[in-house]
Amino acid sequence: MEKIRKERQSILVVDSGDLFFDHLVNMNPERALKKARLIGRAYRRMDASAVNVGDLDLVQGVDFLRSEFSQGLPLISANLFDPSSKSPIFPPFVIREISGMRVAFLGLLPPESAPAISAAIRKANEGKILIRDPVEAGRETLQKLRGQADLVVLLSDLGLSSDQIVAGTIPGIHFILGGHEGRLVVHPTLQAGAYLMQSSARGMYVGKLHLAVENPAFPFEDKEKGESIQAQMRNIERNLQALRGQRERQPSKEIDHGIELWNQRKAKLQKELASSASDSPTIKRNLFDWSLVPLEMPLPEDEEVRRWIGEARINVD
């Protein structure tokens, strides 16, 4: 982050959730809490703009999250409520102004998780939290944001299929930066006007979204759209070759039907590729570029954070 900030000032650091705890790792609770506090401290050092609360972040209890928030960690959640006051525990959204644009980040987490995780969340937060329906809470939050932001980004811990539902039912979201399932998705997908991205698990990659905004009112288009289409076409061609080989060995109507379907998809993509290549430069649009940066061992470490880890005596993690 220091390197990127030296090269370009206009940068915002965000996280989609499940930042602090891993329920599947058998770690001493005191040690897990110590590690989580270090992560929060590091994110404050990175000057994070927004951190969504994920379901795993609740397995230690919401009191830990309240403590991190009180120390300056910008936690957000549009559907995590206090059952007594019926109000959000953390801000539903934050708005950051950068390069003359108002960027709103809102956060959502799933109302239900895997049985073991849901049980751990209930045990750690008995009577302290209420998780509302994400679509309902997201829609209400977008209404509050109307006129306040030029760009709306959802930090989602819902999972890809739920992200698709949100995109299709809540208009006005430009980008959905998702997590939760740990998917490695190289190319973004467009769903009902919103672009969906995922950036793998356990912090192995940093997702980098670069925006070139002409006018926030213009639609966004993937700068690497042509490359993405060609990658999909290569995959289709591999499937076609496999089916043709099967047809030569043992012809059947099912194989012929499969080949026909793949050819239809290929023709559709060829049409999209031709349209993308012939786009007029006079068409008003904003461009974005999404890439995944691997966090590899040769990258330099922050010496101060390294010292914190040494003092906490959790180097083995």
Give the pLDDT of residue 70: 97
pLDDT in tens, 254-313: 999 999 999 998 898 888 777 665 555 556 788 899 988 888 877 888 889 889 988 888
Mean pLDDT by groups of 10 residues along the chain of 317 residues? 80 94 72 91 95 94 96 98 96 95 97 90 93 97 94 96 94 93 83 90 87 87 76 88 92 91 88 64 77 83 88 73
Give the pLDDT of residue 167: 95
Give the pLDDT of residue 114: 87
Closest CA to 41 of 26, 29, 51: 51
Give the pLDDT of residue 31: 86
The CA-atom distances, in angstroms, between 303 and each of 66, 171, 192, 293 are: 28, 44, 44, 21
Give the pLDDT of residue 270: 83
The top-level CATH class assigned to 2-211+294-312 is: alpha beta
Give the pLDDT of residue 297: 74
Give the pLDDT of residue 232: 80
Angle of helix 29-45 versus helix 62-70 axis, rounded to 10 = 30
Structure tokens at 316: 């083995």
Domain ranges of the chain: 2-211+294-312, 225-277
